[in-house]
């Protein structure tokens, strides 16, 4: 018997936000489906329980994207961090092996709930991707026509690598020798409001959760950092005047051109330690630091579409 339908792999899809097809390299996408909560009710004369659904919720979309070509998404993140909450519509289009559309997953009135920046490492050789979570208020899924999907060029992803970055703190010039910044996630709190007549909850943004910044630097260049740690943590001089400002600059492969920058405000020292020492070890002696921040912003000269 000849099959009229054939299964196809999950490697063909397209992301569009507000009608604009993303020029970024989208590595993966998942989620965005409706999930129902269940209720168990005991039955008096019987020794079992019956179950039925109650409220429903929409799972967030999770996307892993290349850094280059993400200008529109970065502006969306910027407006969220600046409390100018911008709700977006978009869709994920799935395609078969012939790059023909087969299924469309649309979302409406969405907010960015999480942004995860990849680990920055001066010795990194592999590609890195930014993970974003998008919380929609409404979704719609349907079969699609056989129109072709957009195939973007992947060369732009080479515009940035995780080894091209610069970390700085006001008054501590040696921080430019930082060799690693661990991955961190900025979360936008979202409150879900259920009303009597609506099946799906309304979503409203709440507080912004700023993570600690964790990194390492060679002990040889950590003198001023150790002095700040001694004054701020050990001696307890941790009033707001002792806090600092800093930034993480994402650089082009030439190590000079700034693609975009994450600014950190109200930086304070949370913890500092010297990496484990072992006999006959040939690794560099490093200091691990952990900083907290009271404010965060993202900006750039426009190399990635962020202005």
Arithmetic mean of pLDDT, 175-189: 95
CA distance 134 to 243: 33
**Two tokens at 68?**
């280059």
SS3 289: strand
Q: Of 25 and 87, which is predicted with more confidence?
A: 87
**Is 4 inside any structural domain?**
no
**Is 3 inside any structural domain?**
no
Q: Please report which confidence band the pLDDT of residue 97 belongs to, taking 50, 70 and 90 as the band edges.
A: low
Of 118-132, 223-237, 249-263, 271-285, the poorest mean pLDDT is in 271-285
CA distance 271 to 278: 22
CA distance 105 to 30: 11
Q: Please report which confidence band the pLDDT of residue 307 belongs to, taking 50, 70 and 90 as the band edges.
A: very low
Nearest of 236, 303, 293 to residue 81 by alpha carbon: 293
**Is 5 inside any structural domain?**
no
pLDDT of 119 higher than 90: yes
**Is 6 inside any structural domain?**
no
**Is 306 inside any structural domain?**
no
**Is 91 inside any structural domain?**
yes
**Is 275 inside any structural domain?**
yes
SS3 223: helix
CA distance 37 to 210: 30
Domain that holds residue 249: 13-299
Q: Tell me the pTM.
A: 0.84
Q: What is the pLDDT of residues 245-302, one digit of tens each?
A: 999 999 888 888 888 899 999 999 999 998 776 666 667 889 999 999 999 999 877 5
Percent of the chain whose predicted confidence (pLDDT) is above 70: 82
SS3 6: coil
Percent of the chain whose predicted confidence (pLDDT) is above 90: 44
Quote the number of domains for the chain. Answer: 1
Q: What is the pLDDT of residues 148-178, one digit of tens each?
A: 666 554 445 556 789 999 999 999 999 999 9
**Is 7 inside any structural domain?**
no
Nearest of 254, 241, 119 to residue 178 by alpha carbon: 119
Q: Please report which confidence band the pLDDT of residue 32 belongs to, taking 50, 70 and 90 as the band edges.
A: confident
Q: Which long-range contacts (CB under 8 A, 24 or more apart) does 164-167 make?
A: 164/250, 164/251, 164/252, 164/253, 164/255, 165/120, 165/122, 165/248, 165/249, 165/250, 165/251, 166/248, 166/249, 166/251, 167/120, 167/215, 167/246, 167/247, 167/248, 167/249
Nearest of 217, 124, 216 to residue 163 by alpha carbon: 124
What does the pLDDT read at residue 222? 92
């Amino acid at each position: 018997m000849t099959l009229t339908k054939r299964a196809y792999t999950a490697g063909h899809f397209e992301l569009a936000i507000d009608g604009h097809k993303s020029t970024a390299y989208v590595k993966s996408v998942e989620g965005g489906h409706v999930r129902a909560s269940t209720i168990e009710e005991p039955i008096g004369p019987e020794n079992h329980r019956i179950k039925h659904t109650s409220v429903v919720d929409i799972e967030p979309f999770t996307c892993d994207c290349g850094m280059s070509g993400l200008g529109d998404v970065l502006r969306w993140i910027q407006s969220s961090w600046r409390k100018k909450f911008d709700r977006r519509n978009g869709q994920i289009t799935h395609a078969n092996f012939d790059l023909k559309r087969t299924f469309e997953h649309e979302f409406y009135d969405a907010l960015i709930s999480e942004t995860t920046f990849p680990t920055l490492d001066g010795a990194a050789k592999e590609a890195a991707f930014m993970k974003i979570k998008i919380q929609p208020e409404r979704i719609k899924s349907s079969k699609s026509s056989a129109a072709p999907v957009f195939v973007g060029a992947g060369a732009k992803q080479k515009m940035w690598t995780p080894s091209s970055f610069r970390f700085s703190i006001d008054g501590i010039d040696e921080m430019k020798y930082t060799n690693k910044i661990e991955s961190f996630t900025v979360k936008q709190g979202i409150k879900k409001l259920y009303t009597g007549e609506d099946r799906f909850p309304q979503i409203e943004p709440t507080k912004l959760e700023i993570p600690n910044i964790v990194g390492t630097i060679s002990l040889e260049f950590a003198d001023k950092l150790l002095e700040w740690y001694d004054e701020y943590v050990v001696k307890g001089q941790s009033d707001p005047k002792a806090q600092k400002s800093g930034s993480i600059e994402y650089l082009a492969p030439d190590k000079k051109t700034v693609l975009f920058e994450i600014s950190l405000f109200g930086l304070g020292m949370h913890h500092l330690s010297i990496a484990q020492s072992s006999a006959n070890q040939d690794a560099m002696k490093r200091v691990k630091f952990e900083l907290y921040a009271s404010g965060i912003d993202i900006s750039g000269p426009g190399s990635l579409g962020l202005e």
